[in-house]
Chain A
Amino acid sequence: MNGKQSYSRRFFLKTSGALAVLAAIPASVKALYNEAKNFIVPPKQTFPLPVSINKKMYKVTVDTRTTLLDLLREDLHLTGTKKGCDHGQCGACTVHVDGERVLSCLTLAAMLPGKEVTTIEGLADGEKLHPMQQAFIECDGFQCGYCTPGQIMSAVACVKEGHTSSVAEIKEFMSGNLCRCGAYNGIVESIQKVAK
């Protein structure tokens, strides 16, 4: 084990006397973490939520804990958006909020008022598929199809952001969407096709 403290800490104490107050941070952050003792189960909190999804206004009563992903899948039955990990580690739940790709599993529904959500269900123009959806079909950019809505939402954003100059760039900017079937060949090809 190395020494008790590092030089950086000494620097801190030496060079920032005015900030000495910082050294005495109360350990109160602990209170943020669950302690089993004297536990009283807090009641769930619900609130009315107006939210615009695929240009349609929904008014629902939701639990403050509800994520956009669970709102879509469990409450609104818009199940095109997929749950692959629920922790921002796979990209299957990718949707667009105000036109930008984000993870719906790490978005609280409560934070959505005033924002426009687009899901895979809202990507096609009526019965006409979005060019990226068409490209995924033609390039066979999927196998089991479970990560596909997230891949497509991400791919549309990838093109819009302009990250399509090379295969390597596409691959890097599509690496937030895991595909366990390994259909990466077709995914890259689809994006190249649309970016042209």
Chain B
Amino acid sequence: MEFLQQLVNGLSLGALYALIAVGYTVVYGIVQLINFAHGEIFMIGGFGALAVWLLVPGESLSIWMLPIMLIGGMLAAVGVALLTERVAYRPLRNAPRLAPLITAIGVSIFLQEFVRLFFGRIPGFPDSKRAIPFPQIEYVTGEAFNIGGVTIQRAALFTLVALAICAGFLYVFVNKTRLGRAMQATSQDPDTARLMGINVDKIIMVAFALGAALAAVAGLAHGLRYTNIDFKMGFLAGLKAFTAAVLGGIGNINGAVVGGLVLGVVESMATFIPGQFGGSAWKDVWAFVLLILVLVFRPQGLLGARVVDRA
């Protein structure tokens, strides 16, 4: 029974990682950039959703606020992601690989500090220097479901359902639409894609926007699930999501989803390892042991990087 409970815990935690990991993988697949600021995009998604809720008068907890918050979070996350792409990454597109990587770390610190210092200064907004309680929307939060002794929290279920919908949407988008096929083409060979009449700049923007939109879903889910958000929540979540993307095979969208879920489950299951090396204290150790093993024996990740190697 505890095994099933930990499986549920792991899957719902992993779903959050997976939603963020997609952003790392999509951007890497197109521009070979590890966007370390993506964790902060996730954080901004959460703050955007909260801001919209604060701006709508009445402090309503009705379920109808959920889509409004989701759109607000997405607008904020996508807007910031496109802005960072335009201001910080595009000027460095032909620079050595290390330059955009360092820039990404700088952008990450900048966004954290920006939210920390300025979110709370908007009149009527709470102090952002510490954790801010997140509105508990009806139906998606509240009393947990209990199925045969296994507790499933509503917000955890919301995260899993959101991941399923987003994964389905992504599959259709990448494989069935013109824009999606253009993305695949750009990822395989940007120069030839450009010769075929694909606007590569636009495709890169789409990749950033797509990742940011999913990160905003994760930001909202995080707020509902853990009932509070703070300016540095993107750091560790981003690190774990990056791990998930590498685990699944960076550049591979399906891999990001699988990698996220596997990472979440391993972290939860680590509590079963008996003795001194078991328990919750060692869960990150076991997660990274798994990552090292995968990288040693299958460097391309669990599902393998589908991108044509250009290095």
- A, B: real partners: no
> Which B residues form the contact surface with A (CB < 8 A)?
none
> Which A residues form the contact surface with B (CB < 8 A)?
none
